[in-house]
Amino acid sequence: MISTTPRFDRSLVKKYDRPGPRYTSYPTALQFTDEADPADLLADCRGTPGPLSAYVHLPFCESLCWFCACTTVITLDQGKADAYLDCLEREIDLMDPYLPADRSLAQLHLGGGSPSFLSAPQIARLGQILGGRFASAPDPEFSAELDPRTLNEEKVDVLRSIGFTRASFGVQDVNPEVQLAIHRVQPDAMNRKVLGWVRSAGFESINIDLVYGLPKQNPETFSKTLDAAVDYDPDRIALFSYAHVPWVAPAQKIVERSVLPAAETKLDLLEMAVERLTGAGYVFIGMDHFAKADDPLAVAAANGTLHRNFQGYSTLGGLNLTAFGMSSISQSARAYRQNHKDLRDYSAAVDNGRLPIARGYRLSPRDELRRAVIMELMCRFRLDLDKAAAEHGVDPREEFADARERLAPMEEDGLVEWHGNTLAVNPAGRFIIRNIAMAFDSYARPAENRHARTI
């Protein structure tokens, strides 16, 4: 049994706070190239056995939250979603020849944007598009990111009738001044109302997202947000650090009109959140995820069966991740492929009968080894280099000499320890797991300034 109890060592968290990837893939999307041949990227899709994990990107939002770095389309025109559903339907049909024989869905995730931008009939139509092409695997996990500001009971009922049992809500912060500063007014009463709807409709699992490091936040305001979050009683809580990357998300320039919390204050907020959430019975899963001790994610973390993919931590692994919609990223055994990020480019491709692949990456055998190693570390906080090297036919001493060198300061600081060729992440190292993983990343150094900071 692996202990999932982290130890928050403020000075060490501060010392290692530097830009780093979130490792929802390895190599990260920064390595994707538009020179990759789509045929090459699709080559192993059919051969990667089912069932499938499907992701559908629904990019529309009624207004832009100024902290947002997602790929969105801001509109009040509901008709745009009708046209988009037409494109999705075509894209799924274009993908059909590349899908494995087993078309059952073990996982389906609707992300965005705001999937709840769609009207109830549009959600029903999406259900028909998917249901007509894919069967459900036994006990599937269907989840949707929902925005309380655009959700209503009718939409909840339609989602439930399609088979959705998991809902994820962006809460971010309940303080009205913080909400004004990020252009996202979402009163506490609204949160409570939508939670009531999904619970009465029979949703089994609720996640809420919180963000620390937003403008106007301070320990006093954030303490109230944490109180509310615990009182909402979700099964999972994602606690994200606000990533200020205005060169990627220009709307974040507006956020700069308000004063952002200083680095020390941000650490205060994180430290308080860790204490409050673990004190309320949530288990630290890894990176920025917490779950109730009996939640499948916490159980998987405890018994060493956790996985990681583009949606973050997951209980299901080894699945062919097939993503649809603009900007979405798919993963087969040896390749990643990403669709066009621009709605016009995406629509034009499918209208012309082409899969809308804009760029991607074909993994080398060395990438596959490093991916296995990094995912092992991110999910289990432990790494057996002999085992990993044997599976990939390399000499671990030679292959990982660079990683050992990069980890030396962390070993001195007591964040990790070596037992022969096995690396164990100590409780204090769990909060900087991505910095530890970076030691095994062949691409980390040249890319690191293009990532957000880890804290």
- Judged by the rule CB under 6 A, the positions of this chain that interact with ligand SF4 are 61, 64-65, 68, 70, 72, 112-114, 147, 170
Q: CB of 73: closest distance to ligand SF4 in angstroms?
A: 9
d(CA 69, CA 19): 16
Q: CB of 145: closest distance to ligand SF4 in angstroms?
A: 8
d(CA 56, CA 48): 20
d(CA 122, CA 5): 43
The enclosing H or E element of 237 equals strand 236-241
Largest CA distance in the chain: 61
Q: CB of 172: closest distance to ligand SF4 in angstroms?
A: 8
Enumerate residues 6+ apart whose C-beta is below 8 A from 339: 57, 323, 324, 325, 326, 327, 328, 329, 346, 356, 357, 358
Enumerate residues 6+ apart whose C-beta is below 8 A from 116: 144, 146, 147, 150, 151, 155
Q: CB of 113: closest distance to ligand SF4 in angstroms?
A: 5
Query: Is the Cβ of residue 159 or residue 415 nearer to ligand SF4 in the bound state?
Result: 159
Query: Is the Cβ of residue 126 or residue 378 nearer to ligand SF4 in the bound state?
Result: 126
Which residue from 329, 332, 334 is spatially nearest to 359, judged by alpha carbons? 329
Query: Is the Cβ of residue 50 or residue 113 nearer to ligand SF4 in the bound state?
Result: 113
Query: Is the Cβ of residue 99 or residue 208 nearer to ligand SF4 in the bound state?
Result: 208
| Phi-psi map region of 164: left, alpha, beta (phi>0 left; psi -120 to 50 alpha) | beta
Q: CB of 137: closest distance to ligand SF4 in angstroms?
A: 28
Q: CB of 90: closest distance to ligand SF4 in angstroms?
A: 24
Query: Is the Cβ of residue 229 or residue 385 nearer to ligand SF4 in the bound state?
Result: 229
Task: Kindly report the backbone phi and psi dihedral angles of residue 269, in degrees, each rounded to the nearest multiple of 5, phi listed first.
Answer: -65, -45
Query: Is the Cβ of residue 185 or residue 333 nearer to ligand SF4 in the bound state?
Result: 185
**Are 234 and 289 within 8 A, CB to CB?**
no
Query: Is the Cβ of residue 64 or residue 372 nearer to ligand SF4 in the bound state?
Result: 64
Q: CB of 203: closest distance to ligand SF4 in angstroms?
A: 19
**Are 329 and 310 within 8 A, CB to CB?**
yes
Q: CB of 140: closest distance to ligand SF4 in angstroms?
A: 25
d(CA 10, CA 21): 21
SS3 string, 241-275, reads ECCCCCCCCCCHHHHCCCCCCCHHHHHHHHHHHHH
Query: Is the Cβ of residue 74 or residue 394 nearer to ligand SF4 in the bound state?
Result: 74
Scan for tokens 């288990």, then name that residue.
Answer: 283
Q: CB of 169: closest distance to ligand SF4 in angstroms?
A: 10
Query: Is the Cβ of residue 24 or residue 320 nearer to ligand SF4 in the bound state?
Result: 24
